A = this chain, B = another copy of it.
Amino acid sequence: MTETQDIVVGLTAVVLAVTDEVPRVLVVRRLSHPLSTPAQRGSESSQVDSPDTLPFGPFDPTRHRTLELGLRHWVEEQTGLDLRYVEQLYTFGDQYRDLPELQGGPRVVSIAYLALTHESDVAGSGEADWQDWYRFLPWEDCRDGTPKVVEKVIRPALRRWIRQAGDRSQRSQREERVSVCFGLKAPAELDRIRTLERYELLYEVGLVLEAHRDHQQLQLLNGSDDIPPDPELVETARQLSPPLALDNRRILATALSRIRGKLAYRPVVFELLPKDFTLLQLQRVVEALAGVRLHKQNFRRMLFTGELVEPTGRRDASGRGRPAELYRFRREVMRERSAVGVGLPNLRAAE
């Protein structure tokens, strides 16, 4: 290892929009890593398919007065999008979480941001594209009950993992973690807030592709004799969800965790909706984010007693059934009450 190592501060964006009940995230298909040198680019041909990447760029203190401005700059450049609501998520800096570093490059400290917008046409230097968020985290969408992949793929693999434990104490530790994240006995709904915890379990178990990729890279670096990954497990991971670059899936999980937590006490949903909306539209967006279905009448009651919305007087023409009244967000609540949000149900059954 060298005496000194450069640091690059990277900025990564999770740009989220919800259209037609589908939460979508903006990804860029890159030809190479944004930080790699031309020399490295050649050697990167070993990577057959270049996986989707979140919009990303290095923070340049000479050009960016603040971190957030830097992020907006890169998203603008790569996707043509001018963001509105932006919030910082988390900063990732673990060793070897980035490819160029594995090739002797700088250590990349990535600051991840979450942006909320409406879906719109994208253009820009990268091939930007909206992708279904739950394609990358399919186990998180419980709107139609516990997803099939959980029953058919994840839980069996987790049971196998528990059986493979070395000793008794490791076994019970594994049992506990699985039980907390996915529920072992009761077919309970997944706990909406433990998104990140679930991702980390799946990574450790090897049910996401990047776990194997990172493992291989590390072995290559250490020059240790390669312990080949369980090919069956890799295949399972491949079927479960498509590959994502770097630690981007972890960042996605962090973002989902954050927005699910925030839904209940901050009026973030409205950033994802047009100025005027029907109550069902609002409910669908909340459901898409929370990953669960809600009771319609109670949801509406909550909105009214909380005075979160006000009628515009107009009605929605499209749609099949009885036309719905159009509402708008009552911004005033934010000064009237402290915690303003759409308060998700407790799902008592899950306890």
Instruction: Give chain A's interface residues, CB within 8 Å of chain B.
Output: 1-5, 7-9, 59, 61-62, 65-67, 88, 90-91, 93-95, 106-107, 109, 111, 176, 179-180, 191-194, 265, 334-339, 350-351
Best-buried of A90, A93, A94, A176 by chain B (most CB within 10 Å): A93
Q: How far is the CB of A184 from chain B (nearest CB, A)?
A: 10
Nearest to A62 among chain B residues (CB) is: B5
A284 to B211, CA, bound (A): 44
A59 to B107, CA, bound (A): 11
Assess whether A176 is in contact with B335, with CB atoms less than 8 Å apart: yes
- Give the residues in chain B near A66, CB-CB below 8 Å: 93-95
A217 to B5, CA, bound (A): 32
A265 to B339, CA, bound (A): 14
Q: How far is the CB of A103 from chain B (nearest CB, A)?
A: 15
Assess whether B109 is in contact with A93, with CB atoms less than 8 Å apart: no
One complex includes copies of this chain to the number of: 2
Additional 7 contacts, C-beta under 8 A, given A2-B62, A109-B111: A7-B59, A7-B61, A9-B109, A61-B107, A67-B93, A67-B109, A337-B351
- Give the residues in chain B near A336, CB-CB below 8 Å: 351
Between A and B, 11 residue pairs with Cβ closer than 8 Å are A1-B62, A7-B61, A59-B109, A61-B107, A65-B95, A66-B94, A66-B95, A67-B94, A91-B111, A180-B335, A191-B338
- Give the residues in chain B near A88, CB-CB below 8 Å: 90-91
Q: Please judge, given known A-B contacts A88-B91, A339-B193, A351-B337, whether A62 and B180 are in contact too, CB under 8 Å.
A: no
Assess whether B180 is in contact with A61, with CB atoms less than 8 Å apart: no
Best-buried of A2, A61, A265 by chain B (most CB within 10 Å): A61
A65 to B61, CA, bound (A): 25
A193 to B334, CA, bound (A): 13
- Give the residues in chain B near A193, CB-CB below 8 Å: 265, 338-339
A66 to B5, CA, bound (A): 14
A111 to B110, CA, bound (A): 11
Q: How far is the CB of A59 from chain B (nearest CB, A)?
A: 7
- Give the residues in chain B near A5, CB-CB below 8 Å: 61-62
Q: How far is the CB of A223 from chain B (nearest CB, A)?
A: 18
6 smallest A-B Cβ distances: which pairs?
A: A61-B107, A67-B93, A191-B338, A91-B91, A5-B61, A180-B335
Q: How far is the CB of A21 from chain B (nearest CB, A)?
A: 24
- Give the residues in chain B near A95, CB-CB below 8 Å: 61, 65-66
Assess whether A7 is in contact with B4, with CB atoms less than 8 Å apart: no
- Give the residues in chain B near A94, CB-CB below 8 Å: 65-67
Assess whether B91 is in contact with A3, with CB atoms less than 8 Å apart: no
Q: How far is the CB of A338 from chain B (nearest CB, A)?
A: 4
Q: How far is the CB of A275 from chain B (nearest CB, A)?
A: 20
A265 to B260, CA, bound (A): 14
A95 to B176, CA, bound (A): 46
Nearest to A188 among chain B residues (CB) is: B338
Q: How far is the CB of A266 from chain B (nearest CB, A)?
A: 10
- Give the residues in chain B near A176, CB-CB below 8 Å: 335
Assess whether B179 is in contact with A62, with CB atoms less than 8 Å apart: no
- Give the residues in chain B near A67, CB-CB below 8 Å: 91, 93-94, 109
A208 to B135, CA, bound (A): 48
Which of B8, B90, B194, B339 lies in contact with A338, CB distance below 8 A? B194
Q: How far is the CB of A279 from chain B (nearest CB, A)?
A: 23
